[in-house]
Every structure is written in C-alpha cells, then in structure tokens.
Chains A and B, each alone.
Chain A
C-alpha cells in the first residue's frame, strides 16, 4: 500500500492484552503490594473484560480472587475506574434506570479496578482486592505508573 502513513494507522490498531503484558503487570502489582505490606489478589482482564491472568498472594482471603476479577471486568467494560460506576445508578442522573440488581453478576462499584490506556486505546484493565479499597486504589495507581513506562 503506497501512500499509507503507517505511524498514523498504528494508533488506530488496538493491540489488546496479551499474557506477557499481563504477567508484567501482575509482577509490578505484587511488588507494590509487598512494599506496602499488603496481601492482595490481582486480576488482569483484556479489553473486553475477559480474564487473562489472576494471582492470589499467599494468605489472601478467599473472596478476594473473585472480587478482583469483578473489579477488573467493571473497569474494562465501562472504561472507567470501578469506583465511578456508581454514577450510573444515581437517581439524580438524567435517564436514571440502569438496573443495578441482577443485571450482571460481575458489576461492582467497589474501588480498586482501573482501565489501562495506551495512546487513547483501551488495552485492558486491572482489578486489585484486599481488605481496604483505598489501598487497592493506591496499588492500582502505582501499577499504572509503572506500566506507562513500557507500554
């Protein structure tokens, strides 16, 4: 193809999540969690919300694995941090009517899920779960900062 500006085309191509990237993200999350002295579960999902990799650190509570996956799903499909999804169920919102009950078993408004963006493209999301959602968000932000270096 002559006359095609490949560098412009490349931006439109969504590279998506692969296992190698997921492993890197999980590793940096485990390092960040250990640095804060937290035991967490970490889930990495692809751009459509499907699980790519999940690690539950030794001693993490049993439900954290599933909640981490839920947070990752919510962040990926809404393309928002999972803590901001509550706004769809806010009765003050115009067009309120989003069915928050029994709509999807994965939807969660708990903080700790963050979408991962690369040059305007969503490539996936990360969900972290421990006892305290506030600390999950801090770990998420550390991971996103670390991943922005090699993405």
Chain B
C-alpha cells in the first residue's frame, strides 16, 4: 500500500477489535492515524473506559511523530534508567508537544513497502502494555490484517 485510506484503517480496526474482544477479552479503544498524525478512524468498544480514546489517539500520534513504536520511547521516561548513564533518559519529554506525547506501550507504526511510516495504530484499554495480552498485541493484530 502507498497511502493509508479509511478503508484500510477500518480493516485494521475490525481485526484489532476482534482480537481484543475474543482473545484478549478486554474492551479497548483503537485509533489509526495517517502520516500527518491526524485521526483517520477511532473506535471505542462497548465497556471501554471513556479516557481510553484520547490515550489511543495520543499513542498513535506519538508513533507517527517519532517514527517508532511507543514501546521504544517508554525506556526514556522509565525512572529506573535515571542516573545510570547520561543520555539514557529523557524525562523532560513528559508534557512536551502540548501534552500530546504518550510513551505508554501500545502504539505501532504502519509502514509501506519502502519501510516509510505512513501512519500509526494505537490501542488503550488492556491493563498491560507489553506481553501476550497487551495493548501492543492488539495493535499488532491490526497491523497483521494489512498483510492478509
């Protein structure tokens, strides 16, 4: 694919929702943004918390803004890396970009055939960021749907 269209975004959302509902078993919000960081489609599943849409959108925005999964950036704001090595953390990033930056794991970039980032998908609502049943795995289910 060259461009992220609404049709593709809905395909991803549908697969991610099915994964979140049937396998993970947690209702959650899933957001897909295009390469400008603007929302293309958001869905909040029945029973998901009302704040999860905003977090999912912010995760997807952060993915596009930094061109990497939010999991990679979460080590920058991990307090355990404070003071170990200079440059190993970036606590100052908290609250930057009018509070739009969100380095909670759960956002994954969408790439085209040339490995350029054409969008991002973010999920929020599963009570775990990393693991078999997590926000990241719900987003991954959405990415996989692109290649089916």
Contacts and interface: CB of A to CB of B under 8 A. Distances in A.
B38 A56 contact: yes
Interface string B30-65: 000000101111111110001001100000000000
Contacts of A54: 39, 41-42
B112 interface: no
B38 A53 contact: no
A51 B44 contact: yes
Given A50-B53, A62-B36, A62-B38, A55 B6 contact: yes
A10 B49 CA distance: 25
Contact of A55 (B3, B41, B46, B50): B41
B42 A51 contact: yes
Nearest to A57: B6
Interface string A60-91: 00100110000000000000000000000000
A54 B29 CA distance: 11
Contacts of B39: 54, 56, 65-66
A88 to B, nearest CB: 24
B51 to A, nearest CB: 8
Contacts of B40: 55-56
22 contacts: A18-B46, A19-B44, A19-B45, A23-B43, A48-B50, A50-B44, A51-B44, A51-B53, A52-B53, A53-B42, A54-B39, A54-B41, A54-B42, A55-B6, A55-B40, A55-B41, A56-B39, A56-B41, A58-B3, A58-B5, A58-B6, A62-B38
